[in-house]
Amino acid sequence: MENTKSCLVTTSLIGAVKWSMTAPNTVIKDERGGDGHLTWREKAIKDLENTLNRVKGVFPKEAEQGMIFEKMVYNNANKPKLTGTEKFQRVCKEVKGYEFYQKGGIEEIIQGEKCYLYGKYDAIQRSPIIKLKDIKTTGSYTIGKYLNGLQHKIYCLISGAVEFEYIIVEWDKYPLIKDVSIERFIVEDREKMKSEVITEIEECFNVIKDLELWEVYRTKFCLY
């Protein structure tokens, strides 16, 4: 008898689903890559469909710059002597002694489905307590920008971490750093956190079903 594939749940999937729900129903301007007809909501739904079909899209320049910067940090953070600007060294010091790009996952039953919650941590400390850190790069930062998301809760649930920090690098003009900020999440009630994560996943599942993309999700996105 063939084993049923688990429902794969990732933060990128949840982000794509939530954007399909909240994207404005306004036409995308020409300077933002619009064609005079396509709306942000229509594009968000199409992008979600591509995500579920594992169709690779154009990698945004900003995301590529962020990835290059992260690799620079992780390649230098654990060296005996740090170099670079003061702000770059501060970011390196925040993750010094951590392990980088480690993977993790747990199984949960959600809406009667066997699910696999998967995460790839930017930086993890395993002792004396499990602690995670994630570097975010942005051209514009407002306080609380990342704690309004779900990544820290999912990753703490998966890893057993008791603390999660976003290290936010705000650009002056890439690659010049304007400022470095920290947003911290501490797990105070693990069962409550787990309930919040599962509720979010259930809402995402409902949206995928409402968009009639559940079959695509189960056959194309969920691999194992």
Closest C-alpha to 98, from 152, 164, 151, 157: 164
Q: Is residue 23 part of a domain?
A: yes
Q: Is residue 1 part of a domain?
A: no
Q: Give the total number of structural domains in the chain.
A: 1
Closest C-alpha to 93, from 101, 104, 82, 102: 82
Q: Report d(CA 122, CA 101) in Å as an integer.
A: 5
Asked whether the whole model's pTM tops 0.85, one would answer: yes
CATH of the domain at 33: 3.90.320
**Parent domain of 127:** 7-221
Maximum Cα–Cα distance for the chain, whole Å?
Answer: 59
One-letter amino acid at 146 equals Y
Per-residue pLDDT of the chain (224 residues; tens, 9 = 90+): 356 899 999 999 999 999 999 999 999 998 887 888 999 999 999 999 999 999 988 888 999 999 999 999 999 999 999 999 999 999 999 999 999 999 999 999 999 999 999 999 999 999 999 999 999 999 999 999 999 999 999 999 999 999 999 999 999 999 999 999 999 999 999 999 999 999 999 999 999 999 999 999 999 999 88
Q: Is residue 2 part of a domain?
A: no
Instruction: Scan for tokens 């703490």, then name that residue.
Output: 156
Cβ atoms within 10 Å of 173's Cβ, excluding its own: 8
Residues 100, 94 contacting (CB under 8 angstroms): no
Q: Is residue 172 part of a domain?
A: yes
Q: Is residue 104 part of a domain?
A: yes
Q: Report d(CA 12, CA 20) in Å as an integer.
A: 12
